[in-house]
Amino acid sequence: ILVIKKDPDDSIHNDNELFVCPITHTALRKKDGIYYSDDALQGYLIFNDVACLLSDYAIVATHFNDFNN
């Protein structure tokens, strides 16, 4: 396991534009404790402020937008 910590004082990047989907390589948006891909309809969980962005651990979230507008 490789754990990378982000400096909390580093405000150069906008969190909503920092990560891309490992499947579609499009921007992810952060909402309610997950990063979500509109193109892949996949959710990626965040554990202790560390995003788990491996496609093997993605959650199918086809109706995510129905509940999180």
Average of per-residue pLDDT values in the chain: 81
* pTM for the model: 0.67
Residue 22 and residue 53: Cα distance in Å, rounded?
A: 7
Pairing relation of β-strands 29-31 and 50-51? unpaired
In this structure, the number of other CB atoms found within 10 A of the CB of residue 1 comes to 2
**Distance of alpha carbon 42 from alpha carbon 20, whole angstroms:** 12
Residue 42 banded pLDDT, cuts 50, 70, 90? very high
Per-residue pLDDT tens digits for 9-35: 655 555 556 789 999 999 998 888 889
